[in-house]
């Protein structure tokens, strides 16, 4: 370009980062041990392990894992990631337990176990499917069609198996780590509501202002007295 032409704004002028932590301030409840006795193959796959239903997972100082965090707002249409969102069935457990995906993105459910799993999504929207996977290595793929917080997966054979997928129309979401931390990058500058979802404690909302080129830090806390979210 010639001298005097206005420079295109760089990303640093138009987007910022949200970094935060979700904590549980109350005492965490115990998680139940999964009894897999109905399926000896699942028992064998977990030999020597005490497998728990990982509903409330906290770090020593109360960081809460597996919280789905999303920015609530209307955004320009973003490209849909070409990568699939993977969920594995391994040793009769879904991994990860909580994950996020963009509308239009492919959900890929893989069976790593040499036994029959039946993957059944409980969708209040158009993200429903119900498919048997009798063999190890089988993969089922589906394009997620609509926003949904949260799409729940279950196995009709192994009732303890559960996983949740937050489906949003933009890429500004995250899942809290084992320490309760999360980071959402490249969020357009503006004021929003930051929403969280946890399978036992439901939703929290907190205002957040994203400033250009800076990190906004936000702390969210569940007391442990919150009501469980209504599941579809």
pLDDT, residue 232, reads 41
Q: What is the CA radius of gyration of the chain?
A: 20
Residue 155 is given by DSSP the state E
Chain center to CA of 183:
13
Backbone angles phi, psi at 41, to 5 degrees: -65, -35
Residues 1-35 pLDDT 10s:
455 555 555 666 899 999 999 999 999 999 999 99
* pLDDT(186) > 90: yes
pTM: 0.92
Element of type H or E holding 26: none
pLDDT tens digits, one per residue of 191-211: 999 999 999 999 999 999 999
- Return all residues near 63 (Cβ < 8 A) that are at least 6 apart: 21, 22, 23, 176, 177, 178, 179, 180, 181
Task: Note the pLDDT tens digit of each residue in 108-149.
Answer: 999 999 999 999 999 999 999 999 999 999 999 999 999 999
The pLDDT assigned to 10 comes to: 63
Q: Give the E-state strand segments of 92-147 in sequence order.
A: 93-95, 98-102, 106-111, 117-122, 129-133, 139-143
159 Cβ partners below 8 Å, 6+ apart? none
- Alpha-carbon distance of 214 to 115, in angstroms, equals 49
3-state helix, strand, coil in the chain (%, to 5): 5, 45, 50
Per-residue confidence band for 176, with pLDDT thresholds at 50, 70 and 90: very high
> For residue 190, how many other CB atoms are within 10 A of its CB?
16
């Amino acid at each position: 370009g010639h001298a005097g032409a206005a420079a295109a704004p760089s990303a640093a002028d138009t987007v910022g980062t949200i970094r935060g932590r979700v904590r549980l301030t109350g005492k965490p409840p115990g998680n139940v041990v999964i009894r897999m006795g109905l399926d000896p193959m699942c028992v064998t796959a977990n030999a020597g392990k005490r497998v728990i239903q990982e509903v409330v997972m906290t770090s020593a100082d109360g960081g809460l894992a597996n919280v789905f965090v999303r920015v609530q707002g209307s955004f320009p249409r973003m490209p849909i990631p070409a990568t699939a969102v993977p969920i594995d069935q391994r040793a009769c457990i879904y991994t990860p337990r909580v994950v996020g995906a963009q509308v239009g993105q492919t959900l890929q459910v893989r069976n790593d176990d040499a036994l029959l799993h039946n993957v059944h999504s409980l969708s209040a929207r158009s993200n429903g499917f119900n498919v048997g996977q009798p063999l190890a290595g089988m993969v089922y793929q589906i394009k997620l069609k609509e926003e949904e917080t949260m799409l729940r997966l279950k196995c009709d054979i192994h009732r303890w198996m559960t996983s949740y997928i937050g489906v949003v129309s933009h890429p500004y979401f995250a899942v809290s780590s084992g320490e309760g931390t999360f980071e959402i990058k490249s969020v357009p500058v503006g004021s929003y509501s930051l929403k969280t979802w946890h399978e036992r404690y439901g939703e929290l909302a907190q205002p957040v202002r994203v400033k250009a080129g800076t990190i906004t830090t936000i702390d969210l806390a569940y007391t442990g007295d919150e009501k469980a979210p209504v599941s579809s």
